[in-house]
Chains A and B, each alone.
Chain A
Amino acid sequence: MLSRAQKRLQREFEEMTRHYQDTFPVEIPENDTNRMTWYVSFIGAEGSIFAGERYTLEFRFSDNYPIEAPDVIFRGAYPHHEHVYSNGYICLSILYDDWSPSMKVSSVVMSIQSMLSSATRKSRPANDASFVSYAGGRSPKTFNWIFEDEKC
């Protein structure tokens, strides 16, 4: 029997393959029988400084999804952006305090894509090194993120 979260994810997966097959392809690791981890990739928007660059986001869903936000981080190559840490963590309010259960995977990917599009230069967060060593392997949700600007 599928859990509530799994049922909803199944519907989202169907929607993703139907409408976003080309833009946001989803890959679910074969060994994950619960299908609670997704890899979603996207390409930096035309006209932005990340144009044409392909990135992959790792989504980890809990049984309380979508009431609770998924853990979302960059996997592999990460964009050099002032709100993306070199361990792949993302400082974006909708992933933490501003999450709402009306959001979904596609809306998260679009928000991250547009966060990248609004950047005018490639950079790193100022506290990257100290944050990454402090973060260790903990979930990004366990930190107290301070969102310094609206885009963040």
Chain B
Amino acid sequence: MSEPSESSDWDMEVDDESEDLPEPALIRQKSYTILHLSEIEQRVNEIASEYSELLGISKDEALILLTHYHWKLHKLQDSWLDNEMRVRIEAGILLPPAGYEVAKSRGKKLGSIKLVRGTEGCCQICYENKLDRDALQCGHSYCKSCWRQYLENLLYERTIAGGKCPMHSCPLKVPESMILGYLQGEKAENYKRLKCEEFINQNQAYRWCPAPGCSYVVEYENLGVHGISCKCGYFFCFACGEEAHRPVSCNLVKSWIVKNSAESENITWIIANTKQCPKCRNPIEKNQGCNHMTCRREVNGCGHEFCWLCLGPWTDHNSATGGFYKCNKYDELMSGTNNAFKQEESKREKAKTELDKYIWYFERYNNHHKAQKIASEKQVPAMEEKMQELHDFKQYPIGELEFLKQAAEQVIKCRRVLKWTYCFGYYLKSGAEKDLFEHLQEKLEENTEHLHELVEKPLDEFMSADVIDRSPFYQHKSELTNYFQVTKTFMEHLLDGIENGLTA
């Protein structure tokens, strides 16, 4: 167990010139907002209203233009200033007039999209005579039940944002007021959700919380690696959408995840542990032990028996060639001039060491991952229960018990950081940087284990009805709070250090 006060001021050299550099702590200040989908909708409507006023068009039209320009506001404004008519035509709120030429259309002001009430005639979808028909500016009129069916189908196909007149190759878009006139209740809500999704997906400043089932959205202005803590409790990276992963870069996280997928790892394993049968080329796995291999017929093999090391027929082997566990022929081959054989062997050896190295890091990564999961799924809720009991039975104010939860949450944070340091360490080249890194990683591990023990200390002794003296409780509080602070500071320093270079 390490002494907490020592580790708070660790032996790493602190760069005094850091004030001249961009202050990392500043970038990490909370500069994001967690929004509910209804707040996104409000934002979408605000922008549409703003552009309706700015461009002197209806809100329906503004929404169509914004959707057409993928919510790239500057691009819309520039294009509008350049050629208003062209923007209207391309976005589908205006039919190109006869003899339309882009060059001559600059500077023209135009009317608005409007609904046309059809006169008696045939609906072009159901072919029935219906009086009550709707049409856009193009005059392609359809009966109300066909419009409804058409719009419901667009909703079902998730193409309703940007949906066009049902007439083949008619470019006019269906305005929102009309969509909402035909779709009610749950369908209207689905439409609004799709509209918001469109907005979020097109906008770099927004991202869905990646936690399964969570429908919060983050709004974030400063693009870059950034841990976002969602209202649902998930802590994720805004840049790549994975779980927050300091001190590792998004790219390394990506490679690590790919590496961890069973498929890619199997390939390394196969290279390290299998050879092809020299006769039928079937892959054969070596399970340890003796060099006598049989290409087994049960698994589509040919029955050929050979030596694992030199790949020669087993019939050529006997006690004179080294017996079952050694192969002199192999030694000869390796010291001889057969380069192809040697290359093949060194590839296998490399794969084997590479695999061992990977397994070593992965096991540690995975252990912290599991501990982190247990701590967040079991320990934090259990701690909250204990806090309530202490409050209910012993009348400690809730505010005085907060430290228990904070400490439990710190354990989770440490586990997560430790987990990612094993990904970081796997990719870090050997050298002074790595030596120092591993030393500090070990210290953080010690601190975390100790903090974890303290957090897990049973609180029953403070709970009993006949305990009147509160000083043991406050002593525990001061010990835990102190250790929590020390560990937290150490972790922060380690993260900053790794990100800025420990030996730099």
In the complex, which residues of chain A have a beta carbon less than 8 angstroms from the beta carbon of B124? 101-102
User: Bound complex: CA of A12 vs CA of B125, how far in Å?
Assistant: 11
Q: Decide: A103 near B125, CB < 8 A? Known: A67-B149, A67-B153, A68-B153.
A: no
Question: How distant is B140 from chain A, measured CB to nearest CB, in Å?
Answer: 7
In the complex, which residues of chain B have a beta carbon less than 8 angstroms from the beta carbon of A67? 125, 149-150, 153
- CB atoms of A100 and B127 under 8 A apart: no
Q: Decide: A102 near B167, CB < 8 A? Known: A67-B149, A68-B153.
A: yes
In the complex, whether A8 has a CB less than 8 A from a CB of chain B is: yes
In the complex, whether A4 has a CB less than 8 A from a CB of chain B is: yes
User: Bound complex: CA of A102 vs CA of B166, how far in Å?
Assistant: 6
In the complex, whether A7 has a CB less than 8 A from a CB of chain B is: yes
- CB atoms of A66 and B128 under 8 A apart: no
Q: Decide: A100 near B153, CB < 8 A? Known: A8-B126, A66-B125.
A: no
In the complex, whether B168 has a CB less than 8 A from a CB of chain A is: yes
- CB atoms of A64 and B153 under 8 A apart: yes
- CB atoms of B128 and A7 under 8 A apart: yes
- CB atoms of A7 and B166 under 8 A apart: no
- CB atoms of B128 and A101 under 8 A apart: no
- CB atoms of B146 and A101 under 8 A apart: yes
Select from chain B the residue with minimum beta-carbon distance to A107: B168
User: Bound complex: CA of A12 vs CA of B169, how far in Å?
Assistant: 21
**Residues of chain B at interface, number, CB under 8 A:** 16
Question: How distant is B50 from chain A, measured CB to nearest CB, in Å?
Answer: 33
Select from chain A the residue with minimum beta-carbon distance to B124: A102
Query: Which residues of B from 433 to 450 have beta carbons under 8 Å from A?
Result: none
- CB atoms of A100 and B128 under 8 A apart: no
In the complex, which residues of chain A have a beta carbon less than 8 angstroms from the beta carbon of B150? 67, 101
- CB atoms of A12 and B127 under 8 A apart: yes
Question: How distant is B156 from chain A, measured CB to nearest CB, in Å?
Answer: 10
Contact among A7, A98, A102 for B140, CB-based, below 8 A: A102
Select from chain B the residue with minimum beta-carbon distance to A15: B127
User: Bound complex: CA of A20 vs CA of B153, how far in Å?
Assistant: 30
In the complex, which residues of chain A have a beta carbon less than 8 angstroms from the beta carbon of B140? 102
Question: How distant is B459 from chain A, measured CB to nearest CB, in Å?
Answer: 59
- CB atoms of B168 and A102 under 8 A apart: yes
User: Bound complex: CA of A68 vs CA of B150, how far in Å?
Assistant: 9
In the complex, whether A11 has a CB less than 8 A from a CB of chain B is: yes
Question: How distant is B172 from chain A, measured CB to nearest CB, in Å?
Answer: 12
Question: How distant is A128 from chain B, measured CB to nearest CB, in Å?
Answer: 29
Question: How distant is A115 from chain B, measured CB to nearest CB, in Å?
Answer: 15
Question: How distant is B95 from chain A, measured CB to nearest CB, in Å?
Answer: 16
Query: Which residues of B from 127 to 163 have beta carbons under 8 Å from A?
Result: 127-128, 140, 145-146, 149-150, 153
Select from chain B the residue with minimum beta-carbon distance to A11: B127
In the complex, which residues of chain A have a beta carbon less than 8 angstroms from the beta carbon of B126? 4, 7-8
Query: Which residues of A from 49 to 87 have beta carbons under 8 Å from B?
Result: 64, 66-68
Select from chain B the residue with minimum beta-carbon distance to A5: B126
- B126, B150, B153, most chain A CB atoms within 10 A: B126
- A4, A8, A68, A102, most chain B CB atoms within 10 A: A102
Query: Which residues of B from 106 to 135 have beta carbons under 8 Å from A?
Result: 124-128
User: Bound complex: CA of A68 vs CA of B127, how far in Å?
Assistant: 16
Select from chain B the residue with minimum beta-carbon distance to A68: B153
In the complex, whether A135 has a CB less than 8 A from a CB of chain B is: no
In the complex, which residues of chain B have a beta carbon less than 8 angstroms from the beta carbon of A110? none
In the complex, which residues of chain B have a beta carbon less than 8 angstroms from the beta carbon of A101? 124-125, 146, 150, 166
Q: A4-B126, A8-B126 are in contact. List 20 more A-B contacts (CB 8 A).
A: A4-B145, A4-B149, A7-B126, A7-B128, A11-B127, A12-B127, A64-B149, A66-B125, A67-B125, A67-B153, A94-B168, A100-B166, A100-B169, A101-B146, A102-B125, A102-B140, A102-B167, A102-B168, A102-B170, A107-B168
A-B contact pairs, 21 of them (CB 8 A): A4-B145, A4-B149, A7-B127, A7-B128, A8-B125, A11-B127, A64-B149, A66-B125, A67-B125, A67-B150, A98-B168, A100-B166, A100-B168, A100-B169, A101-B124, A101-B146, A101-B150, A101-B166, A102-B124, A102-B170, A107-B168
Q: Lowest 3 CB-CB distances: which A-B pairs, in order?
A: A100-B168, A11-B127, A102-B167
Which residues of B approach A to under 8 Å, CB–CB? 124-128, 140, 145-146, 149-150, 153, 166-170
